[in-house]
Amino acid sequence: MKIEDASQRWNEMSKEIETGMAEWRQQHPKARFKEIEAELDRRLGEMRAKMLTDLALASVSAEWEAGEEPVCAECGEKLVRRGKKERKLQTNGGREVELEREYGICPKCGQGIFPPG
């Protein structure tokens, strides 16, 4: 995904949060500060997880270019591709995100690597 495309999506999500919170507040006119905060945090947490996913997938590490294979952090050997794999990660906010990235194995030490980024 290109950052420009993601940025447009983030703007739309931001507007949805704004509109959704205004509607939620009308439906919950007696909500206390803590309740309002919890609802806002829930909505922002969802957006944050989507933004993290978009940013990680836009990383140069997401796709390996020929001749630019990552190297093993343990021994420095170039990794051998093993295809794309899905990985589930937890955000600091406790949301689960899925990333599909190129996976590699070190031919020297056998370390499996899911590139960061």
Q: C-alpha distances in angstroms, 24 versus 14, 34, 114? A: 15, 14, 40
Given this model, what pLDDT does residue 22 score?
97
The β-bridge relationship of strands 80-90 and 96-105 is: antiparallel
pLDDT tens across the length of the chain (117 residues): 678 888 899 999 999 999 999 999 999 999 999 999 999 999 999 999 999 888 888 765 556 666 677 788 888 888 888 888 888 888 888 888 888 877 888 888 888 776 544
Would you call 80 exposed, middle or buried from its count of C-beta atoms within 10 A (0-12, 13-18, 19+)?
A: exposed
Q: Count CA within 13 A, CB hemisphere, residue 64.
A: 22
Q: What is the Cα–Cα distance from 41 to 21, expressed in whole angstroms?
A: 11
